[in-house]
Amino acid sequence: MLLGSKGLGHYWRTHYADKTFEHLYRWNLFDVCLLVPYFIVMIILAFYGIHRYQLVWLYYKNRKNEARWDDPPARFSEGQLPFVTIQLPIFNEQFVIDRLIEACCRLNYPRDRFEIQVLDDSTDETVLVAKQIVERYAAGFSGMDPQPIVYLHRTNRHGYKAGALDKGLDVAKGELVAIFDADFVPPPEWVMQVIHHFAEPEIGMVQTRWTHLNSDYSFLTQVEGILLDGHFVLEHGGRSRSGVFFNFNGTAGMWRRKTISEAGGWQHDTLTEDTDLSYRAQMVGWKFKYLQDVECPAELPIEMTAFKTQQARWAKGLIQTGKKILPRVLKSDQPFHTKLEAWYHLTANISYPLMIVLSMLLMPAMIIRSWQGTTQMLLIDLPLFMASTMSVSSFYLVSQKELHPKTWWKTFLYIPCLMALGVGLTVTNTKAVLEALFGVKSAFARTPKYRVSKKGEKSQAKVYRKRLGIVPWIEMAIGCYFTATVWYAIWTENYFTVPFLALFVFGYWYTGLLSLLQGRFERSSTRGDELHEKPYPVGI
């Protein structure tokens, strides 16, 4: 039967129109369910990116407040110099312990007001190595007079590093306590550069800047050095100059012993006991100083797995500290800008889970937004991209310009790789952050040190090398996923996003491949030498 015009319209509305509109409604709802979280994540990341710009601004705005080692407000006379205890917490550090002890024994400070504690929790040959080295320096060694050095060994790791430091304080004589990790080599003048700042009675801690013994060892160590420089120049510099809270970095710093006790002592319920104690001390009124011009060299991790272990410990520890400390800070009578900076500092690692979410939403968002034109991209995507991503490059470029005014421009060559490395850490650090958020406890994993400084120098990494299980394979799989997004961006002529997406591909594949392959060639080439290698430095 033929339908008239009225019947045809009624038939279309009945059989097709409602279904078509229902389909469009469902598709739009699907779009919203993907795009809303996508833009929420991008906006949150943009806020953390804007905070990097703020730190640069604080650094330059408050330049007049910079503390310098050669210009303390007050000084001790020679007869008033306080007693100093040097604490060296170690755990399985057989390749670097002799270098550390020798450097500390050469510190320029009166020996009648000075002692060194080697706080050893080791479970391997380091116990014998460290004990013998201490005995030699205590008796007079390498042309030195007998040194005031003692060896303290614990048979358990209760409290890990915090527990060892606390145990050492029980027998320490010093009014001031300096701490050095095993991979550091403090220069002889370090104590005298720091000590006079404690002539101000309100100063509770002085932190100095880390420098790098082996930044030229490999491409990885060069990028690691730039990352740490950004932290020590702009984060510490910006916070300390503007008078907000900042943290002791666990090493290369000196504490007033009274400050530690008044703040509640070393506590081991977080993996960043240094940051935890720092916030507690500043909450009870102690002032901290940061001396950017006092350098203390240290060894950078030479393997990707060691670097990931270090970064994951810091990420988890800061979130743990945030859960513990932030409620107290926010309820305190501290100024608003101090509270805000504490929030940004202690929650910054939440960006890693957000990056994973962004990674998963990126391809669907690209497909859904394939209709957008250049105008929408310039108005929406470009500002978010500039805030969340470009802030990283400017942050590290400025720090290198401050440290190396004549050669800082070379950093441009490392910026893409630096950003890619940050992306590649997201899987490991996301796991660490989620463990902290859900209260999953883990042991204090020390970063292995191998005592290598020159490019191509053979390491003894196999002794302490660790694997990261399935994580590198996940990184490789995510890299493949982003390869597909690059292909889709090119296919849809969305060329603006290709360089950004390529950073994800490179970052995930670089960290994943290095984790899987690092050390394999070395093991195969040195397997025949294993029986001939000494487990500790020659001459001990």
Segment 160-216, tens digit of pLDDT? 999 999 999 999 999 999 999 999 999 999 999 999 999 999 999 999 999 999 999
pLDDT band at residue 142 using 50, 70 and 90 as cut-offs: confident
The whole-number pLDDT of residue 18 equals 47
Residue 461 has pLDDT above 60, yes or no: no
Name the residue type at position 110. P
Residue 519 has pLDDT above 60, yes or no: no
Can you say whether the dihedral through the CA atoms of 13, 18, 21, 27 is positive or negative?
negative
What does 257-305 look like in DSSP terms, one character per residue? HHHHHHTT----SSS-HHHHHHHHHHHTT-EEEEEEEEEEEEPPP-SHH
Report the CATH number of the 73-348 domain: 3.90.550.10
Residue 152 has pLDDT above 60, yes or no: yes
- 149 strand-pairing partners: 116
Both structure tokens of 534? 């000494």
Query: What average pLDDT does range 418-439 have in this prediction?
Result: 94
∠341-347-349 over CA atoms, to 5°?
125
Report d(CA 373, CA 369) in Å as an integer.
Answer: 9
Task: With beta carbons less than 8 A apart as the criterion, state whether 258 and 205 touch.
Answer: no
The whole-number pLDDT of residue 158 equals 92
The whole-number pLDDT of residue 384 equals 67
Q: Is 31 a catalytic residue?
A: no
What is the pTM assigned to this prediction?
Answer: 0.88
Q: Which of 120, 181, 229, 274 is catalytic?
A: 274
The whole-number pLDDT of residue 449 equals 78
Domain ranges of the chain: 34-61+350-452+465-520, 73-348
Residue 85 has pLDDT above 90, yes or no: yes
Name the residue type at position 27. W
Both structure tokens of 18? 């409602």
Residue 153 has pLDDT above 60, yes or no: yes
- pLDDT, tens digit (0-9, with 9 covering 90-100), for 52-75: 999 999 999 999 999 999 999 999
Residue 12 has pLDDT above 60, yes or no: no
User: Among 169-173, 220-224, 518-522, which stretch is predicted with the lowest mean pLDDT?
Assistant: 518-522
Q: Is 453 helix (H, G, I), strand (E, B) or coil?
A: coil
Phi, psi for residue 144 in degrees, rounded to 5: -100, 160
Q: How far is CA 64 from CA 25, 233, 294, 464, in A?
A: 60, 15, 18, 45
Q: Is 86 helix (H, G, I), strand (E, B) or coil?
A: strand
Task: With beta carbons less than 8 A apart as the criterion, state whether 415 and 242 touch.
Answer: no
DSSP H helices in 106-213: 126-139, 160-169, 190-195
The whole-number pLDDT of residue 256 equals 98
Q: Which helix (H) or strand (E) holds 474?
A: helix 471-491
The whole-number pLDDT of residue 381 equals 65
Q: Is 274 a catalytic residue?
A: yes
Both structure tokens of 528? 């025949």
Q: Which of 121, 166, 181, 229 is catalytic?
A: 121
Q: How far is CA 89 from CA 121, 127, 269, 451, 529, in A?
A: 8, 12, 18, 17, 31
Residue 537 CB neighbour total at 10 angstroms: 15
Query: What average pLDDT does range 326-355 have in this prediction?
Result: 96
Which residues have C-beta within 8 Å of that of residue 266, sequence separation ≥ 6? 159, 162, 163, 165, 166, 169, 260, 273, 277
The whole-number pLDDT of residue 387 equals 67
Average pLDDT, the chain: 86
The whole-number pLDDT of residue 453 equals 66
Report d(CA 475, CA 431) in Å as an integer.
Answer: 12
Q: How far is CA 518 from CA 104, 139, 232, 355, in A?
A: 33, 42, 28, 26
Residue 348 has pLDDT above 80, yes or no: yes
Task: With beta carbons less than 8 A apart as the criterion, state whether 66 and 247 touch.
Answer: no
